[in-house]
């Protein structure tokens, strides 16, 4: 599984569908669709800047969902929504779940909602069979990992660094041990994300888990229109 992350509406809402179509044509097997938010606690500088550009262009959760719904017939690979809790709550959690179902969304990631606070979201998504994606991190102890894996849905998002998104030159070797352990125990696939930016990273992580999510490198390359670089990453 190779899943690029995009900031929806970076460049204007009219770029959303062409970006999805480009990625699905060149090897993406899933796309994580980021929703711009003014206070993104998990995002590094590249994704923060992309979110601010999208917000400046007037892009909102409502406009993104409307655009995806309008063009759902042209989207041929799974989409997962990554959004902070505030925009979903303002939109309406039940309404959000219903629209996601109409679009065909295959999972929802809400990075500022821990497992202990997920119930309002999971109860709204469950009738439509839409997974609420949980995280494991380098700071998760064994008890936390066991609880996270219990009743996990969709996939496990394994955060590869202690910090926000963004390119890394190297990784703590402990992440590879963690990924091997979590993948062996998990009832659902395990995808690694944060800082994965080149083909060596991709190969190293695919050796110990089920997939990778490529964020900042894709977002920056899209912004700079370096499409050949994106195609090389997705090969």
For residue 73, pLDDT over 90 is answered with yes
DSSP 8-state symbol, 133: P
What value does the mean pLDDT take over residues 104-126? 97
Inter-residue contact 82 to 34 (CB < 8 Å): yes
For residue 65, pLDDT over 50 is answered with yes
Which of 10, 43, 67, 210 is the catalytic position? Answer: 43
For residue 233, pLDDT over 80 is answered with yes
- In the chain, where are the structural domains located? 2-234
Q: For the domain made up of 2-234, give the CATH fold.
A: TIM Barrel (3.20.20)
Angle at which helices 16-25 and 61-70 cross, to 10°: 60
The confidence band for 175, taking pLDDT boundaries of 50, 70 and 90, is confident
Q: Respond yes or no: is residue 32 known to be catalytic.
A: yes
Which of 14, 21, 32, 118 is the catalytic position? Answer: 32
pLDDT tens digit sequence for 28-56: 999 999 999 998 887 888 999 999 999 99
Positive or negative, the CA dihedral 204, 131, 73, 13 is negative
Angle at which helices 61-70 and 93-103 cross, to 10°: 30
Window from 8-22, 71-85, 118-132, 196-210 with minimum mean pLDDT: 196-210
Q: Respond yes or no: is residue 43 known to be catalytic.
A: yes
What is the pTM assigned to this prediction? 0.92
């Amino acid at each position: 599984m190779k899943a690029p992350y995009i900031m929806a509406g970076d460049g204007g809402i009219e770029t959303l569908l062409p970006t999805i179509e480009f990625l699905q044509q060149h090897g993406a097997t899933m796309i994580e669709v980021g929703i711009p938010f003014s206070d993104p606690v998990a995002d590094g500088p590249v994704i923060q800047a992309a979110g601010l550009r999208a917000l400046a262009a007037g892009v909102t959760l409502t406009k993104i969902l409307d655009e995806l719904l309008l063009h759902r017939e042209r989207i041929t690979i799974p989409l997962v929504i990554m959004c902070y809790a505030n925009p979903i709550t303002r939109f309406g959690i039940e309404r959000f779940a219903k629209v996601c179902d109409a679009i065909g969304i295959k999972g929802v990631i809400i990075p500022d909602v821990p497992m202990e606070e997920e119930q309002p979201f999971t109860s709204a998504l469950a009738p439509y069979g839409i997974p609420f994606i949980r995280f494991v991190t380098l700071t998760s102890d064994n008890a936390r990992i066991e609880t996270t894996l219990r009743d996990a849905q969709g996939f496990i998002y394994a955060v590869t660094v202690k910090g926000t998104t963004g390119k890394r030159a190297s990784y703590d070797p402990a992440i590879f041990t963690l990924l091997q352990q979590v993948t062996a125990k998990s009832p659902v696939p395990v995808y690694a994300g944060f800082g994965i930016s080149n083909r060596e990273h991709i190969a190293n992580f695919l050796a110990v888990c089920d997939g990778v999510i490529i964020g900042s490198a894709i977002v920056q390359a899209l912004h700079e229109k370096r499409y050949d670089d994106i195609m090389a990453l997705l090969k």
